[in-house]
Structure 1
Amino acid sequence: MSDTWGLAGGDAIAPGLTAVRPVGGGDVYEAWLAFDDRLYAPVVVKIVRPGHVDRDASRSGLVREVEMLSRLSHPGIARLFSYDDEGPRPYLVLENVDGPDLSTLIATHGYLPLHQLLPLGLELCSALHYLRQQDVCHLDLKPSNVIMGAPARLIDFSVAMDAKQAADLTDPVGSDEYMAPEQCRPGELGTVGHASDMWAFGATMFRAAAGFRAYDRERRWAQLDQAPFGLPHVVPPAVADLILDCLAPRAEHRPEPHEVAERLEPLLANLPRAHLSGFRIKL
């Protein structure tokens, strides 16, 4: 039997929150697009799955995410509106961003053209720079955690933590294919920190630029002993070099978010300007 609340469109998630349709989730949460009567607007509700309600780790994870999001305020991070961590169906209510996640967009349409790829990189760097200033490490940046709104939004802070907590990690944290080497083997291969998010940024941008992942999916943590695949020729050398710099095995060799942004901005400025075809009127 699947670990779900068995909700359907029109059901009440909680007083004032009406389910519309499922929008994904993971092992601990199910996620729903819902209508919030208080806000009188659509929202996303993350609900702790029934099998996790009585698990202290799952409830404390929800509280940790609430506390983290309550500290953050940035255009590139989905906002927290409300939560209930004590009721029979613990949940949190998040901003609904109008757009697909990056993973779905790539699966549907393939790699992103430069006029989408470069702004995405700048927007993610903006959010990562802000998190660095707040001394927060996301630790799970990946295409499915990027919603392609205007601007793109970073979501899912369920494993995010302060930099000091990240540096003290002794066990792996993150999603296998988007984990920096030091996240796979904390201590042995370096200290987990802000540079770990830049590695995940590089892996995310690689997939967006190429349409495929940077490393072999069939082996866990192939990034520990395999060089990244080559990027397609449609990716300009300056963009490819930047992405590969972020995938440097050693944390100290990776650029910081503002350095990446400074390299992306002139590339975006030099893209051909779009114009309407057809006749022109001389004034």
Structure 2
Amino acid sequence: MSAALSSWDLAEGDAITPELTALRLLGGGSAYEAYLAFDEITYGPVVVKVVRPAEAQDEHTRDNLVREATALDVAHHPVTVRGLRYDVAGPRPHLVLEHVEGPSLAGLIRRHRRLSPQQYLPLAVDLASALHFFRHADVCHLDLKPSNVIMGSPARLIDFSVARQAAHAAEITGHIGTDAYMAPEQAAPGAAYGVPGQASDVWGLGATLFHAIAGYRPFRDGDPDAAGAADRFPQLLEAPVELPDDVPAVVAKVVHALLEPDPAARPLPREVAEALEPEIAALPAPRLHWKG
């Protein structure tokens, strides 16, 4: 195993810390791995994001963990996962997060392809309400995508590992986020497209909703190894593909507005909610079947 992917190899019942007992590995990235764990302090299941052994003494990685915890502390909205506590001084730097039950949006799309209006309309309003709050709290998530959304009532937005204040987001010169869900100003920050910021999350919302509504992404897959930005990020020069014909006109108009290349031309999150709430009200009432 490479140093970048080193693991604590914790099995069920192993102690992460004296208060946290591993239940199972959930996944991870290059610098972290995430475990479902039992927490003796909250006395229930939690998610623990643990810095990998090879990164445990890396100051930059520990600073990133603190930045994520700080972002969670100010992004306390019903549609965001809660950060419970963190420790960067111990032998296993970690962040303790609320455990949210439910499938990810990415998992639902893989299984069912397209979501129904009864699913995607409330999801759109939930996420728009969170982004509206983020504008007041000064938080940019910068990685809004289906795998970072847990479906429920309400939905929950997770993974604030690259989140930061708008002023700090505007200073980004590299690529932060996930290629297919990065706004043009994230894919090529600078004079031509603008700088990353809160409007970037609006674009990410558009790409995420498009995928949920259509069952496919709004742009073709780019080449992650391409030297040119346009080959890696088709969203820089191409228009999104068409939504299915049966998508209501109001919904299609909102989604395409979210994907405007110009950050200033995208709607505000509250405008998204205002446009879609009447569509939720117009949904057919669920049919109840009573057994005698």
Tell me the number of residue pairs that the alignment of Structure 1 and Structure 2 aligns. Answer: 280
Deviation at 1:278, TM superposition (A): 6.5
2: CA distance, partners of 1:25 / 1:42: 18
Rounded to whole Å, the distance in 1 between the matches of 2:290 and 2:84 is 47
The reply on whether 1:251 has 2:257 as its aligned counterpart is no
> Is 1:203 equivalent to 2:215 in the alignment?
no
Distance in 1 (CA, whole Å) between partners of 2:82 and 2:14 is: 24
2:229 alignment counterpart: none
Matched, 1:120 2:123: yes
1:181 aligns with 2:184: yes
Q: Does 1:212 align with 2:216?
A: yes
Q: TM-score, normalised by structure 2?
A: 0.92
Deviates more, 1:49-58 or 1:39-48: 49-58
Match of 1:154 among 152, 157, 171: 157
Shift, 1:168, TM fit:
2.2
Gap runs ≥5 in structure 1:
none
CA RMSD of aligned residues (A): 1.5
Q: Match of 1:21, SS?
A: strand
Which residue in 1 is equivalent to 2:109? 106
Deviations 1:92-133 (A, max 9, x none): 100011101111111122211000100000000111101011
SS, match of residue 77 in structure 2: coil
Identity of aligned residues (%): 53
1:239 to 2:239 alignment: no
Residue type of the partner of 1:97?
A: V
Which runs of 5 or more residues in structure 2 are unaligned?
Answer: 224-231
Deviation, structure 1 residue 171: 2.1
**By how many angstroms is 1:230 displaced?**
1.1
1:141 corresponds to which residue? 144
Counterpart CA distance in 2 for 1:279 and 1:14 is 51
Is the 2:203–2:259 Cα contact (8 Å) retained in structure 1? yes
- Partner residue of 1:55? 58
1:44 aligns with 2:47: yes
Q: Tell me, in whole angstroms, the C-alpha distance in 2 between the residues paired with 1:131 and 1:201.
A: 13
Q: Which residue of 1 aligns with 2:24?
A: 21
Deviations 1:143-199 (A, max 9, x none): 111111221111111111111111222222211111100011111311221111000
Moved more, 243-252 or 149-158: 149-158
Structure 2 residue 171 is matched with structure 1 residue 164: no
